Amino acid sequence: MAVETPLKGNIGDSIKRKEDDRFIRGRGNYLDDIVLPGMLHMSIHRSPFAHARIKSIDTKAASAVPGVIAVVTGDLLAQHKLAWMPTLSGDTQAVLATDKVRFQGQEVACVIATDPYVARDAAALIEVDYDVLPAVVDPWKSLEPGAPLIRDEKEGQKNNHIYHWEAGDKAKTDEAFAKADRVVKLDTFYPRCHPSPLETCGIVADVNSATGHATLYMTSQAPHAHRTLFAIVAGLPEQNIRIISPDIGGGFGNKVPIYPGYVVATAASLLIGKPVKWVEDRSENLISTGFARDFHMSGEMALRNDGRMLGLRVKMLSDNGAFYADAQPTKFRAGLFHIVTGSYDLPAAHVETDGAYTNKAPGGVAYRCSFRVTEASYLIERLVESAALEMNMDPTEIRLKNFIQPEQFPYMSATGFEYDSGDYPRAMQLALDKLGYKELRKEQAEKRKKGELMGIGVASFTEVVGAGPGKHYDIVGLRMFDSAELRVHPTGKAILKLGVKSQGQGHETTFAQIVTEELGIPAADIEVQEGDTDNTPYGLGTYASRSTPVGGAATAMVSRKLRDKAKKIAAHLLEASEADIEFDHGKFFVRGSPSKSKTIQDVAFAAYTNLPDGLEAGLEGVTYYDPPNMTFPFGTYLVVVDIDRGTGQVKVRRMVAVDDCGVRINPMVVEGQIHGGLTEGFGIAFMELITFDEEGNCLGSNFTDYLLPTSWETPKFEMGETVTPSPHHPIGAKGVGESATVGSPAAFVNAVIDAVGHLGIKNIDMPVTSDKVWEALNKVGAAE
């Protein structure tokens, strides 16, 4: 019988996820599992109207309910200067409404009670007298003269326009368009959708009035940054605030912003002197926290007749809701949307973006996306599909003709990104081979003759992840570095503490693997800790696929720092000169005599027991890593669909996904990330939609209206990989968590358009539901 050697956990080893032991046994410790002695519960009374002036709030009936301890209104918060808070985009947001409500579901008052159900019942008894105002839910209409002014409390705000921001070179782009043989245009809308993590947002705020210490258990993807913001907003000394982000049941960007519920629960705990818990229910999550997308995009591509791309012109209007609360680097008003040139060698590009207030919930979170890269990737990949269709070219041929070539890296894009590495033709070829593209095209031609609708969708995305070089990227002024602290104990076991924070991505396993690779300590001997601000080094958190590019790099660098010190100790133990010591997989030996060696465990013991003269005891260190550049993962996704003319139903027959995220630390974890991302992309493409009626009522506020894909609908995914290391990352890794959500929606929609394009249907906006497909077919007389 063959005996399997257990994997040590080096880079490239698909070891099982350490954290799953506790999760599959039901021993995870999520926010709602936290119960403190004397803890009270908070429920929020929300506005039923999208736009209304508050005439009065009557809290008498709610206050009289047995078990109710306090009712908090905006006026009470205003006395403590907490009625408004700053957003991550430098705007302000009402914590509890004082003057008027600006979206349906806005926080108006909070009830604190001894029991969560009492709090909820009492919140329903709060009487608010509203003067209802006209609502505007369409950003185009909100920018028209005479539209209701949403942010009338903002000094100098005379209309609903938020920002104008541009990237690229306008004159050069105009020149390219003047020279073009033809221009292809696409207007499209990436609808509002929601990250909808399994666990909603929540807090247990425990402010000790005797010591002034605030311990805040929060569903936070960025606990350190949140602590700093709490210190600034609430005026509490930062050292007195401890944010603990426990196990998190998914974040996807939903848990990056600071929400009113967090602020009121903390203020209530401070005023009452007891811990206060607030956990959103599902509808609260869907209507009030962290929506994504809502981008109206218009792209024009200048081309030569042979299909060579000459220039790109993009206009985008973002619907930001009532408060501009996007979580993104300060300098970039529309996030990193200007990555919209994608995988193509576009000599000129110009991007103009504008934002508008509407009577909808704020958010603008980068749902599984690096600051609006998803919308950009969707637009360029849909636009290339339109170009192929109009020019009667194969969608793979036009891409191959225009891809940035491997020898062009590092490549400077027309909008100012320096792409680190890539081999786009190789990823595409692998995907085409896996799918059997040529045969499927033949099948499609045969089917078309019989009137059957089959489509093959292509998307070759490029992402930009790993913010970032601190000189360009910051969140409310905090430079976007990240950190790792590593201590090796005398018995050779280690604790690694990180500034990032997993929401289910497997950091406890994969970050240990980086230390294993660098120091030779088995992954099982390394404990990874995250999420407690008192116990981990400062970092900007986990979102935008930045953990591996930044926190992973910090981990490799701190390991190397320890290795350098370990070398000195090994030289002492081996009675050799440090210059003669070599290291290989956990062993230090004298060059030329590998049998004379000391293990990392021997060295760790010596670090506390037997040191060379003059060397500090211990084996620990910390690294704050500021990456020299972002990383640029990429891939090609191919989708095959069959469409029923009678119902408009789209069936995804095949999906091949080839991803390149540089060196893969744990291939199994990477596949899991891609699988999850593709599922979310599928849901967005075909099912998920949060929309609003004319009065601003949110449609899509529960899981019977907002449809998430289950295993029943989700197609089977066939995955492949290429590996093009990042030249500047210490272990050559790029981020991967978001690639599949970024790249896949365009592949799904392109497959539908590929099936119906020959009938004259050029675009169907997401979600591509059967009724929309049938209607489009019916319009061109092709429905049955």
Which member of 385, 485, 508, 738 is catalytic? 738
Instruction: Give whichever of 59 and 631 is closer to ligand CDP, judged by the CB atom.
Output: 631
Active site residue 368: yes
Distance CA 138, CA 360 (A): 9
Side-chain-side CA neighbours of residue 187 (13 Å): 1
Q: Which residues are bridge partners to 642 per DSSP?
A: 454, 651
Contact indicator for 563, 583 with CB cutoff of 8 Å: yes
Question: Can you spell out the DSSP letters for 216-281?
Answer: EEE--S-HHHHHHHHHHHH---GGGEEEE----S--TTTTSS--HHHHHHHHHHHHHSS-EEEE--
Report the side by side order of strands in the sheet with 309-319.
161-168, 348-356, 309-319, 295-303, 182-190
Whether 718 sits among the annotated catalytic residues: the reply is: no
- Looking at 368, 372, 399, 654, which residue is catalytic? 368
- Per annotation, catalytic residue among 93, 106, 221, 444: 221
Q: Which of 110, 369, 661, 698 is catalytic?
A: 369
DSSP state of 465: B
- Closest distance of CB 368 from ligand CDP, Å: 8
Three-class SS of residue 751?
helix
Place of tokens 């249907």: 761
24 vs 699, beta carbon nearer ligand CDP: 24
Positive or negative CA dihedral for 666, 672, 676, 678? positive
DSSP H/E element including 447 = helix 437-449
CB of 215 to ligand CDP, least distance (A): 25
Q: What six digits make up the tokens of 532?
A: 């407690």
85, amino acid identity:
M
Which is nearer to ligand CDP, 46 or 546 (by Cβ)? 546
| Single-letter residue type at 294 | D
Q: Please, what is the angle between helix 260-272 and helix 223-234, to 10°?
A: 60
Separation between Cα atoms, residue 154 and residue 90, nearest integer Å: 13
**What is the smallest separation between the CB atom of 556 and ligand CDP, expressed in angstroms?**
12
Q: What single string gives the DSSP state of each residue in 108-152? A: EEEEEESSHHHHHHHHHT-EEEEEE------HHHHTSTT---S-T
531 or 737, CB closer to ligand CDP?
737
Match 């370990």 to its residue by tokens: 566
CA distance 513 to 727: 20
Strands (E), 407-493: 411-412, 418-419, 453-462, 474-475, 478-479, 482-488
Other CB atoms within a 10 A radius of the CB of residue 152 amount to 13
User: Using CA atoms, how far apart are residues 784 and 781, in angstroms rounded to an integer?
Assistant: 9
Q: Which is nearer to ligand CDP, 387 or 430 (CB)?
A: 430
Q: Which is nearer to ligand CDP, 105 or 537 (CB)?
A: 537
State which residue, 74 or 197, has the beta carbon closest to ligand CDP: 197
Distance (Å, rounded) from C-alpha 330 to C-alpha 323? 16
Going by C-alpha positions, the residue among 719, 736, 782, 720 that lies closest to residue 756 is: 782
22 vs 442 by CB, closer to ligand CDP: 22
CB of residue 735 vs ligand CDP: minimum separation in angstroms? 4
Output helix, strand, coil percentages for the chain, rounded to the nearest 5: 30, 25, 45
The tokens 């209607």 sit on which residue?
Answer: 775
784 exposure class (CB count in 10 Å sphere: 0-12, 13-18, 19+): exposed
Crossing angle between the packed helical segments 600-609 and 553-573, to the nearest 10 degrees: 70
For ligand CDP, the closer of residues 568 and 675 by Cβ is 675
Which residue has tokens 């426990």? Answer: 246
Residue whose C-alpha is closest to residue 361's, from 602, 648, 150, 584: 150
The residues binding ligand CDP (CB under 6 A) are 505-507, 510, 542, 545-548, 661-666, 669-670, 673, 733-737
User: Does residue 671 have an active-site annotation?
Assistant: no
C-alpha to C-alpha distance for 710 and 683, rounded to whole angstroms: 9
Pick 300 or 423: Cβ nearer ligand CDP: 423
Q: Is 661 a catalytic residue?
A: no
Q: Which is nearer to ligand CDP, 459 or 661 (CB)?
A: 661
| Residue (541 or 696) nearer to ligand CDP, CB | 541
Q: Which of the residues are catalytic? A: 221, 368-369, 738
